[in-house]
Amino acid sequence: MRLEYPTNVKIILVPCSGKVDVLHLMRAIQKGADGVYVVGCLEGTCHYNEGNYRARERVEHVRTLMEEVGLEPERVRMYNLSSGEGPTFAAYAKEMTENIKELGPNPLKDKG
Amino acid sequence: MIVAKRKPFDEIMDMLKDYKKVLNVGCGTCVSVCLAGGEKEVHVLNSELEMARKLADNPIELGAYTVERQCDREYLAELDDKVKDYDAVVSMACGVGIQFLAERFPDKPVFPAVDTAGLAVNQAVGWYEERCRSCERCVLGWTGGICPVTMCAKGLYNGPCGGTNKGKCEISQDQPCAWYMIYERLAAQGRLDHIKKIRDPYDWVDTTPRTLIQPGYKKPEEVE
């Protein structure tokens, strides 16, 4: 398809979105990422039944933690798509990038 | 097992505001199983604290260490050469572990990062329900295996009270009446006569800390 998506998006592969832990998302922000999002399979289609639901719960939890810390929860998000939806993947990458650009850089980066 | 829940973040931040180098100590037993104060939760809290303090231009240096149990001397001993390097210690153990840690390092401020919430069963991952208040006078044998001290809003050893209402407690329609449940279960087992056994009320006066020494064992200071 030769689709393009923003080059600032760095992909970390996991066997299932249910593998993504709260700490993985926290560390991304802590180490200076401007945003982090999880792309899981469509809800109801998880090969492991509930991996993407667990991921969604964790993303919601991290958003709460971000608020506690004083950072915008919008920097952390969850998206769902099927493995055949390349154009949707690119559209989500673009949407996330635009949302983060509106928020500006991660304020932790200025703090050394 | 003993269950606990993480304290509100602002409360932890407030306790630590004057300290620059803090060791966060997790406990690998009950609070680890109930997802409140194990190794992972130590790292999540440290991550939050580090970010929040950095944003507040008051950076903090944090250590993380999880011992097998904070209620056992032999495991706390692992911390002896570590704690001296820190201004203060945070404990993510239950109230027992926190106190034992504070007792071992009396010159260090020790702060709790969790609120201990009772003795509970695991209904599902992350979902716990209290079942025991450790009253030291177990009546489960006469109450069909349902604890009236925990499950009854008044903790009555003898019940029900006048507030029982069609199987619910007077405090809420969501709260089953413990003594109604006890009645139903004893009736189903053909043991209703047990509900008539009158137990003396618990003596809540002068509730000093209890010490338990199992038969055949000595106090720690008496061990050679």
In this structure, is residue A31 part of a structural domain?
A: yes
Assess if residue B222 is contained within a domain: no
Residue B96 and residue B40 share a domain = yes
Segments of chain B assigned E as strands: 2-6, 21-27, 61-67, 88-91, 110-112, 114-124, 127-132, 168-169, 172-176
Q: Which residues pair with B172 in a beta bridge?
A: B169
Distance CA B154, CA B165 (A): 15
All residues of chain B having their beta carbon less than 8 Å from the beta carbon of residue A111 are: 54-55, 57, 59
- Domain end, chosen from B118, B153, B179, is at B118
Q: Per-residue pLDDT tens for B163-200?
A: 999 999 999 999 999 999 999 999 999 999 999 999 98
Which range of residues forms the domain containing residue A35?
17-103
List strand residue ranges (DSSP E) for A1-112, in order.
Answer: 36-40, 76-80
Å from B17 to nearest chain A CA? Answer: 14
Looking at the structure, tell me whether residues B38 and B114 fall in a common domain: yes
CA distance linking residue A38 with residue A11, whole number of Å: 10
Please indicate, yes or no, if residue B216 is contained in any of the structural domains.
Answer: no
Residues B114 and B141 in one domain: no
| Count: domains in chain B | 2
| Residue-range definition of the domain harbouring residue B16 | 2-118
pLDDT tens for chain A, 112 residues long, are: 789 999 999 999 999 999 999 999 999 999 999 999 999 999 999 999 999 999 999 999 999 999 999 999 999 999 999 989 999 999 999 999 999 999 999 999 988 6
C-alpha to C-alpha distance for B91 and B26, rounded to whole angstroms: 6
- Does residue A76 fall inside a structural domain? yes
Q: Are residues B10 and B110 in the same domain?
A: yes
When divided into structural domains, chain A yields a total of 1
Q: Are residues B138 and B114 in the same domain?
A: no
**Of the residues B68, B94, B118, the one at which a domain ends:** B118
Angle between helices B39-55 and B9-16 (to 10 degrees): 70
ipTM confidence score: 0.92
By residue count, chain A amounts to 112
CATH (domain of B39): 3.40.50.2300
Residue B220 belongs to some domain of the structure? no
d(CA A88, nearest CA chain B) in Å:
32
Q: Do A22 and B54 touch (CB under 8 A)?
A: no
CA distance linking residue A24 with residue A19, whole number of Å: 10
